[in-house]
């Protein structure tokens, strides 16, 4: 192992700051960024004036940020439709752009994310801290399964080089190539979605191959919630004999922004000096105090962004906060993602995150495989009970009424929601090499 970086943190001088200490330091950067928005971003000049902030002085200090309007992804999309290709929020001249990423366009036309050299350097710095926290180290060999291509995940390549990791990018869509790389190259690290890690564990087990003899030491999972759920983590750690830690980013702000340390008590915020983070109530938009156990949506403000600055950007990621001290020495806030606001179902007034249902179903292992699909009877967020759920059994387990009723009552006890569980045999539900879909509206009525 390389000795260039020793210890538990990549940037101890930054990562040991408390959120209050960080906030005090961020005030100057925030003032500079707001002045930059007024001088360089037509989008923010118009938006802020529309909300009564005529100039940077009127916007005030970082402590007053909650008075400002949010920025929604839809506004960025509309800005690009109105002023193609990069929108009125482009705040750097075209000749200063270094790369233009696209979103995957699964929910509409792709949105371009232009970045300057400095923006890329910022992403690399933040992502390096996050991946380091999640167990990646200089000198380590790492196999990753993300499709970089035109997407922001491309910055993972720059990050691994900067971090001093020997990176073996395999991409998605070819599990045989992945298995071959793991067996021949024998990396210490693997970076993939928790769904793909689970799929790989099942596939190797079905072949009678010993996943725990591949020599993997650290698996960093990202791209969707799940890696921090105790049952999923336990299954992955015992299958591979490796430590499983989570990382999380968001394409518009930084590809990776949070990283979970060996203590496995939530992901640490890694954006100090570059990103200001807030927690809000997603319904009212009101700021929430960052305290142990509080749940809310993450909102981000880039403090040093050149090409596509974002002020109070709504992530739609719902998290639970951990603010107690962590044994690793970092003093930054920690979170576990519990789902996307977009995935939320409201069953007769009760908020239900599909990932919460999955956590409860997973406690029925080894009778269940862990795979499930919520199949709402009608389209939209609001649903009437009982909510139909298809639960897959483990290999060799026969369906039984008693098990179905036991799962229903466990969900009712924990989530206060009534469900109708249908048990299906192992292998009946699809597996994913990327993100697992937990809700299927294909049988729903309009
Ligand atoms: Zn820690």
DSSP string, 342-393: GG-EEETTEEE-HHHHHHHHHTTTTTEEEEEEE--SBSSSEEPSSEEEEEEE
166 φ, ψ to 5°? -85, 105
Spatial separation of the C-alpha atoms in residues 396 and 415, rounded to whole Å = 29
Q: Tell me how far the alpha carbon of residue 10 lies from the centroid of ligand 1, in angstroms.
A: 12
Domain ranges in the chain are: 7-338, 345-424
Query: How far away, in angstroms, is 331 Cα from ligand 1 center?
Result: 8
pLDDT at 23 > cutoff 90: yes
Write the pLDDT tens digit of every residue in 368-418: 999 999 999 999 899 999 999 999 999 999 999 999 999 999 999 999 999
Q: What is the mean pLDDT of residues 162-179?
A: 93
CA distances from 244 to 21, 135, 191, 336 (A): 30, 9, 10, 14
DSSP 296: E
State yes or no: pLDDT of 311 exceeds 70: yes
Distance 87 CA to ligand 1 centre (A): 39
Q: Could you tell me the CA-to-CA distances from 375 to 70, 318, 380, 385, 442 in Å, in that order?
A: 32, 22, 12, 12, 8
Q: How is domain 345-424 classified at the CATH fold level?
A: GMP Synthetase; Chain A, domain 3 (3.30.300)
Mean pLDDT of 39-68: 97
Distance between CA atoms of 246 and 135, rounded to whole angstroms?
Answer: 9
Distance 36 CA to ligand 1 centre (A): 34
Cα 186 to averaged position of ligand 1 atoms, centre (Å)? 27
Lowest mean pLDDT among 98-112, 223-237, 250-264: 98-112
Cα-to-centroid distance, 407 and ligand 1 (Å): 34
Q: Which string of DSSP letters, residue by residue, matches 184-248?
A: HH--SEEEE-HHHHHHHHHHHHHTT--GGGS---EEEE-SSTTTTSHHHHHHHHHHHTSEEEEEE
Enter the tokens of residue 27: 């005030």
Cα 19 to averaged position of ligand 1 atoms, centre (Å): 14
Tell me if 318 sits within 8 A of 376, measured CB to CB.
no
Query: Greatest CA span in the chain, whole angstroms?
Result: 68
Contact indicator for 247, 221 with CB cutoff of 8 Å? yes
Position 7 scores a pLDDT of 64
- Phi, psi for 339 (deg, rounded to 5): 150, 175
Residue 334 CA to ligand 1 centre (angstroms): 8
For residue 4, what pLDDT band results from cuts at 50, 70 and 90? very low
Place of tokens 């995940």: 153
**What's the CA gap between 345 and 334, in Å, rounded?**
25
- CA 129 – ligand 1 centroid, Å: 12
Lowest mean pLDDT among 114-118, 176-180, 222-226: 222-226
Ligand 1 centroid from CA 265, angstroms: 7
* Average pLDDT for 284-294: 95
Give the pLDDT of residue 95: 97
Using only C-alpha atoms, the chain has a radius of gyration, in whole angstroms, of 22
416 C-alpha to center of ligand 1: Å?
A: 32
Q: How many A from CA of 142 to the centre of ligand 1?
A: 22
> Do the Cβ atoms of 122 and 169 come closer than 8 Å?
no
What is the distance between the alpha carbons of residues 64 and 59, in angstroms, rounded to a whole number?
Answer: 8
* Residues 6+ away with beta carbon under 8 Å from 355: 225, 226, 229, 338, 339, 343, 438
Q: What separation in Å is there between the alpha carbon of 15 and the centre of ligand 1? A: 10
**Roughly what angle, to the nearest 10 degrees, separates helices 194-206 and 230-240?**
50
Distance (angstroms) between ligand 1 centre and the Cα of 245 equals 11
Q: How far is the CA of 268 from the centre of ligand 1 (A)?
A: 7
Please, which residues have CB less than 5 A from ligand 1, an ion? Answer: 261, 263, 326, 328, 330
Structural contact between residues 258 and 248, judged by C-beta atoms closer than 8 angstroms: yes
Q: What is the Å distance from ligand 1's center to 131 Cα?
A: 13
Q: How far is the CA of 312 from the centre of ligand 1 (A)?
A: 26
Q: What is the pLDDT of residue 3?
A: 37
What is the tens place of the pLDDT at every residue in 105-151? 666 678 999 999 999 999 999 999 999 999 999 999 999 998 777 88
- Ligand 1 geometric centre to CA of 352 (Å): 29
CA of 183 relative to ligand 1 center, distance in Å: 31
Compute the C-alpha angle 119/121/122, nearest 5°.
Answer: 65
Superfamily of domain 7-338: ANL, N-terminal domain (3.40.50.12780)
How many angstroms separate the alpha carbon of residue 439 from the centre of ligand 1? Answer: 32
CA of 264 from ligand 1 middle (Å) equals 7
């Amino acid at each position: 192992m390389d000795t260039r970086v020793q210890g538990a943190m990549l940037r101890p001088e930054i990562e040991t700051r408390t959120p209050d200490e960080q906030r005090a330091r961020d005030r100057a950067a925030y003032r500079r960024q707001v002045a930059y928005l007024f001088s360089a971003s037509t989008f923010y000049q118009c938006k802020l004036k529309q909300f009564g902030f005529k100039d940077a002085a009127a916007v005030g200090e970082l402590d007053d940020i909650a008075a400002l309007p949010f920025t929604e992804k839809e506004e960025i999309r509309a800005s690009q439709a109105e002023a193609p290709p990069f929108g009125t929020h482009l705040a750097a001249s075209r000749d200063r752009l270094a790369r233009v990423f696209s979103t995957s366009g699964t929910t509409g036309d792709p949105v371009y994310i232009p970045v300057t050299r400095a923006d890329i350097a910022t992403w690399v710095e933040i992502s390096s801290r996050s991946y380091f926290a999640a167990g990646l180290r200089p000198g380590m060999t790492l196999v990753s399964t993300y499709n970089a291509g035109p997407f922001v995940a491309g910055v993972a390549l720059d990050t691994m080089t900067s971090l001093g990791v020997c990176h073996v990018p395999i991409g998605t869509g070819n599990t045989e190539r992945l298995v071959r790389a793991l067996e021949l190259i024998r990396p210490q690290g693997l970076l993939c979605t928790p769904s793909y890690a689970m799929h790989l564990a099942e596939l190797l087990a079905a072949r009678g191959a010993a996943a725990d003899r591949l020599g993997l030491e650290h698996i960093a999972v990202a791209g969707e919630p799940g890696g921090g759920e105790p049952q999923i983590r336990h299954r992955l750690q015992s299958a591979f004999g490796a430590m499983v830690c989570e990382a999380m980013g968001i394409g518009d702000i930084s590809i990776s922004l949070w990283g979970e340390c060996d203590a496995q008590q939530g992901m640490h915020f890694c954006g100090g000096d570059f990103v200001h983070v807030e927690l809000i109530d997603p319904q009212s938009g009101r700021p929430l105090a960052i305290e142990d156990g509080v749940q809310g949506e993450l909102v981000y403000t880039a403090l040093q962004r050149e090409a596509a600055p974002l002020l109070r950007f709504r992530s739609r990621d719902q998290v639970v906060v951990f603010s107690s001290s962590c044994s690793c020495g970092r003093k930054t806030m920690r979170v576990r993602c519990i789902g996307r606001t977009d995935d939320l179902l409201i069953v007769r007034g009760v908020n239900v995150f599909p990932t919460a249902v999955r956590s409860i179903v997973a406690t029925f292992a080894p009778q269940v495989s862990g795979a499930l699909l919520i199949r709402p009877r009608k389209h939209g967020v609001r649903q009437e009970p009982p909510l139909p759920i298809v639960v897959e059994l483990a290999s060799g387990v026969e369906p039984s009424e008693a098990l179905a009723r036991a799962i229903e009552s466990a969900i009712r006890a924990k989530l206060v929601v009534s469900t109708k569980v249908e048990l299906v045999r192992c292998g009946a539900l699809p597996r994913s090499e990327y993100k697992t879909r937990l809700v299927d509206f294909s049988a729903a009525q309009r």
